[in-house]
Amino acid sequence: MTADLTSARAVIDLAHEVVGTATRVLAGGSIDASQVLAYDLAHAAAAVETGRAMLHYGEKGDTEADMACAFVADAIADLAAKLYGREAEWGVEPSALDEARGFVTTYRDPVFLAGLAFIEGPRHLDDDFELVQDTFRRFADDKIRPAAEHIHRFNEDIPEEIISGLAEMGGFGLSVPAEYGGYSEGGESEYIGMVVATEELSRGSLGVGGSLITRPEILTRALLAGGTEEQKQSWLPRLASAEVMAAVAVTEPDFGSDVAGIKVRAVETDGGWLINGVKTWCTFGARANVLMLLARTDPDRSKIHRGLSMFVVPKPVGHGHGFEFLQEAGDGAPGGGKMEGRPIDTIGYRGMHSYEIAFDNWFVAADNQVGLDDGLGKGFYYQMAGFENGRLQTAARAVGVMQAAYEEARQYAQDRVVFGQPISDYQLTRAKLGRMAVVIQAARQFAYEVARMMGRGEGLLEASMVKAYVCKAAEWVTREAMQIHGGFGYAEEYPVSRYFVDARVLSIFEGADETLCLKVIARRMVDNIK
């Protein structure tokens, strides 16, 4: 069969019209009053944009065209399921997608999908990025994978040799500008390099590899957005070299995605600030040398996010099973401050550990308030600058986890004999593997496309879309990979069970899926047509 990209474009255009119509319906009312529509619309729009990226990919060869058509058909079928019985709510006719029916029938055919089971498709990276991929893949295979399962099963800390090895490769300086000791020259190469490296590290392990470079990435971008020149000179070279490892302390027990409502206070004192309150879900909080902490510096809560400032909070290094530090007097600190970290046990994403951290008069020097006087009340915006790229990076982490799960499922299917033949010979298994390969490549290509956009100073909406689409897709891919393993998929001795529980966190952190869809994607889509 020769893939029909012309029809694929027409089908994507049709889906785009449906999304546009529903967006206008949403704009005429209230997102909060139509949350189910807004949520489904955000995911539909993300799938359509992923389809557009795959059409570009499909132009590069026959295999690529087959995969592009398979993805577009899958995306349209998913959109049709969202519409069925709710056409009036979306503002469209029941026949809105009828013209796509033949295309979907052709490219969702089980025989066609089964033919893609063992075809991953080329990535079409430039030579420089192929080198990045090879370098980080070798490190993941040689250093991360051998340690990942033990760390997961016994909830251990990440070995220091992995941190130092990644530092030697420059993994912590990918987004630090060269003038501050990093490897970033700006532009799209910075973003694509980060995406490629993150995928390969996450293929080794989400918690032990891919997420290690996320925290310094977030703090780096926050400092670039609001730090003084002295602060950049002080912190960025040490972040790039891993002399300083960072954690992010933003979320609170009562305030997760609703960051503007946070309660942790920073009260000015001689020579600096005293921090009081509780942060939660502070990943890597024990091992980190500093916390990127968002606190309320203006007691007037009516100022909401405009009363928040950001701090770089130095701390001693602790271990993964909890810590308690008492601050001695000196270097401007009055002494007596306390920081206590309680570990939060999780079903997956182990190695970095997450903590609830309580601060009791913990002193932070005035020089560590990001932006100094010019940064007071701007911490929310610096935090957002750090998190915007974090969404793209999270998508890359999801692609890495999916790729690892697909590889395990493919190999197991070839090795496992049931009823006299390998299960890879069965149509159902092959169709599953084919769809998995298509979804992974589509997610990857959309991440590359968003990276190029962000390199041009664009793509903030698309960064949220790629995070929403890819992280949800990772749950399906890892679930199916586990299912292909049968009973062994449920056994901890096979890494696919780890991929499954790791994937589950992806739609929760860096912006919970519901909040991301309602408060960011749907809202920006509505704003774009007003």
Whether 213 and 199 have beta carbons less than 8 Å apart is answered as no
Whether 300 and 377 have beta carbons less than 8 Å apart is answered as no
The angle formed by the CA atoms of residues 42, 48 and 53, to the nearest 5 degrees, is 125
Dist CA 237 CA 385 (whole Å): 19
Q: Considering only CA atoms, give the Rg of the chain.
A: 24
Torsion angle, alpha carbons of 349, 352, 354, 357, to 10:
-170
Classify residue 327 by its DSSP letter: P
The number of beta carbons lying within 10 Å of the beta carbon of residue 418 is 12
> Nearest to residue 220, comparing CAs of 243, 238, 204?
238
Dist CA 499 CA 199 (whole Å): 14
Dist CA 154 CA 152 (whole Å): 6
Report how far apart, in Å, the C-alpha atoms of 103 and of each of 58, 69, 97, 315, 333 are.
Answer: 16, 9, 11, 58, 68
Which tokens hold the place of 35?
Answer: 């949350």
Task: At 127, give phi and psi (nearest 5°).
Answer: -55, -40
In the set 149, 268, 510, 514, the catalytic residue is: 510
What is the DSSP annotation of 29-54?
Answer: S-TGGGHHHHHHHHHHHHHHHHHHHH
Q: Name residue 311's beta-bridge partners.
A: 293, 369
Dist CA 475 CA 499 (whole Å): 9
Q: Which residues are CB-contacts of 308 (< 8 A; sequence separation ≥ 6)?
A: 259, 260, 262, 294, 295, 296, 297, 298, 377, 379, 380, 383
179 is an active site residue: no
Dist CA 259 CA 249 (whole Å): 11
Dist CA 523 CA 30 (whole Å): 10
Whether 291 and 222 have beta carbons less than 8 Å apart is answered as no
* Surface-to-core class of residue 529, CB atoms within 10 Å of its CB (0-12 exposed, 13-18 middle, 19+ buried): exposed
Report how far apart, in Å, the C-alpha atoms of 267 and of each of 330, 360, 425, 515 are.
Answer: 19, 12, 66, 30
Task: At 109, give phi and psi (nearest 5°).
Answer: -60, 130
Q: Looking up tokens 């349209």, which residue turns up? A: 76
Catalytic residue numbers, as ranges:
510
